[in-house]
């Protein structure tokens, strides 16, 4: 039986599995060298043909095992002009739909970063739909690393043919009065990019620092981009579909949650996703943070806090607070060979209120460098004061995982697949 929900690694490697291609595979059409450098449109055509040839191969397992998805190419070798397009990355998930960046592509990037495009993965149908990159212009710049938001138009996630909207947000050149943002929309029922421009709220473009999205998602008809060091930008999708003007609203972080200027010298190495996250849990937006003593061994002051955003998206409400020092009180960690370690990469369980997963890395000095000898994924039930430890032996977690609900329709599709519990042996603790 396939699981009802999964913990999912964000990267999707491209690979070839000869056992899953029964017929002699042909290299996708779309590239001819002709003894000259390729034109930009030829490179785009080659990459599009390559993305169209990929097949998804999902391996879902019961948590706390980490699930993954491979994207299979029909040939062992990578086609010409497509060498840098060797993986995909999840930007957002809504119901059964995943928005992926294919290759190094990110909007507003340099020429290298414009090789790739988008993929929409439908877990219900186990299918991929490639989408070309947004139109590029010189004044365009990125507003974050993960900014593509997918919105399923299925009310319950089980209908046929309702489709989706993909939204991508970029910045334009800074103006004296602020910064402009350009929002691109792609609707499955009428393919093609359309865009709208608006001035960002002043809180998102102060004189000293710019808004930079760390996370993005859709919520109740809103598109949301979150800078975990400052706050959140939201706009309402239905207004855009009705051809109204684009308007953004800025939502600051909770009052008692510190903000960080990542451009200041003391914070330039700070990675906010190492100790903060945000997500939708039970129809509410929740924000989790472990700010005290970041990067130090846990002590009596090391607290993990959860805030809940009101339904009208105007006010943060204090939620649960958990003293991470409790993890070490009953000595259970010793049974797993775990030392007292610093927490990192917290993320919320999508279907369990007040449950947070936290990663602990056992770093040791080897020669002249640090090496991760062991890694643990720890499930913290803040309401019931219950802690469970899971040592990672097949996959080292390097970034926040995604939690994804797998409905009954997806379960039927996946029951015949071989469920595995890891991807390769890229990490083995000692």
Q: Residue 142 class from Cβ within 10 Å (0-12 exposed, 13-18 middle, 19+ buried)?
A: middle
Identify the domain containing residue 371 by its residue range: 274-398
Residue 124 resides in a domain: no
Q: Give residue 178's region: left, alpha or beta (phi > 0; psi -120 to 50).
A: left
Each residue's pLDDT tens digit, 71-91: 999 988 888 888 889 999 999
Each residue's pLDDT tens digit, 272-307: 888 999 999 989 999 999 976 444 444 446 889 999
> How many angstroms separate the CA atoms of 284 and 316, rounded?
11
Residue 344 resides in a domain: yes
Query: Average of pLDDT values for 17-23?
Result: 68
Query: Average of pLDDT values for 165-173?
Result: 91
What pLDDT is recorded for position 425?
Answer: 27
In percent, how much of the chain has pLDDT > 90?
46
SS3 category, 422: coil
| Number of domains the chain contains | 1
| Residues contacting 295, CB < 8 A, separation 6+ | 342
Residue 379 resides in a domain: yes
Residue 269 resides in a domain: no
> How many angstroms separate the CA atoms of 283 and 14, rounded?
34
- Spatial CA neighbour of 328 closest among 309, 315, 341, 316: 341
Between residues 424 and 99, the one the model is more confident about: 99
Residue 336 resides in a domain: yes
pLDDT confidence band for 335 (50 / 70 / 90)? confident
Q: What is the CA radius of gyration of the chain?
A: 22
- Cα of first residue to Cα of last residue in the chain, in angstroms, is 33
**Beta bridge partner(s), residue 355:** 381
Residue 322 resides in a domain: yes
Query: Average of pLDDT values for 51-59?
Result: 95
**Beta bridge partner(s), residue 286:** 279, 308
What pLDDT is recorded for position 114?
Answer: 72
Q: Residue 100 class from Cβ within 10 Å (0-12 exposed, 13-18 middle, 19+ buried)?
A: buried
What pLDDT is recorded for position 412?
Answer: 46
Residue 116 resides in a domain: no
Residue 298 resides in a domain: yes
> How many angstroms separate the CA atoms of 226 and 48, rounded?
30
Say which residue the tokens 């649960």 belong to. Answer: 320
What pLDDT is recorded for position 332?
Answer: 87
Q: What is the DSSP letter of 402?
A: E
């Amino acid at each position: 039986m396939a699981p009802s929900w999964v913990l999912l690694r964000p990267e999707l490697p491209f690979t070839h599995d000869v056992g899953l291609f029964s017929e002699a595979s042909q290299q996708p059409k779309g590239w001819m060298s002709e003894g000259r450098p390729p034109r930009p449109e030829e490179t785009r055509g080659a990459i599009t043909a390559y993305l169209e040839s990929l097949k998804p191969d999902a391996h879902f397992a019961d948590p706390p095992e980490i699930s993954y998805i491979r994207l299979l190419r029909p040939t062992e070798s990578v086609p010409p002009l497509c060498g840098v397009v060797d993986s995909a990355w999840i930007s957002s998930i809504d119901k059964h739909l995943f928005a992926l960046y294919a290759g190094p592509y990110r909007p507003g990037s340099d020429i290298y970063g414009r090789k790739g495009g988008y993929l929409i993965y439908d877990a219900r149908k186990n299918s991929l739909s490639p989408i070309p990159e947004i139109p590029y212009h010189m004044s365009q710049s990125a507003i974050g690393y993960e900014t593509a938001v997918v919105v399923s138009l299925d009310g319950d996630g089980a209908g046929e043919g309702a489709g989706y909207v993909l939204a991508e947000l970029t910045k334009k050149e800074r103006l004296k009065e602020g910064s402009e943002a350009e929002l691109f929309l792609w609707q499955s029922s009428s393919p093609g990019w359309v865009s709208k421009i608006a001035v960002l709220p002043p809180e998102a473009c102060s004189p000293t620092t710019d808004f930079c999205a760390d996370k993005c998602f859709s919520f109740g008809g809103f598109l949301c981009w979150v800078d975990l060091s400052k706050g959140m930008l939201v706009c309402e999708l239905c207004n855009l579909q009705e051809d109204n003007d684009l308007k953004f609203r800025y939502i600051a972080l909770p009052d008692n949650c510190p903000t960080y200027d990542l451009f200041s010298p003391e914070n330039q190495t700070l990675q906010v996703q190492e100790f903060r996250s945000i997500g939708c849990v039970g129809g509410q937006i929740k924000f989790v943070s472990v700010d005290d003593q970041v990067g130090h061994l846990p002590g009596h002051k090391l607290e993990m806090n959860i805030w809940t955003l009101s339904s009208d998206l105007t006010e943060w409400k204090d939620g649960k607070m958990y003293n991470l020092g409790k993890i070490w009180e009953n000595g259970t960690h010793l049974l797993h060979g775990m030392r007292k370690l610093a927490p990192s990469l917290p993320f919320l369980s999508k279907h369990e209120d007040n449950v947070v997963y936290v990663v602990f890395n056992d770093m040791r000095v080897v020669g002249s460098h640090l090496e991760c000898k062991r890694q643990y994924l720890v499930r913290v039930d803040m309401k019931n004061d219950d802690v469970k430890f899971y040592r990672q032996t097949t996959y080292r977690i390097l970034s926040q995982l995604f939690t994804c609900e797998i409905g009954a329709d997806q379960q039927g599709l996946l029951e015949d697949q071989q469920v595995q519990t890891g991807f390769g042996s890229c990490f083995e603790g000692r």
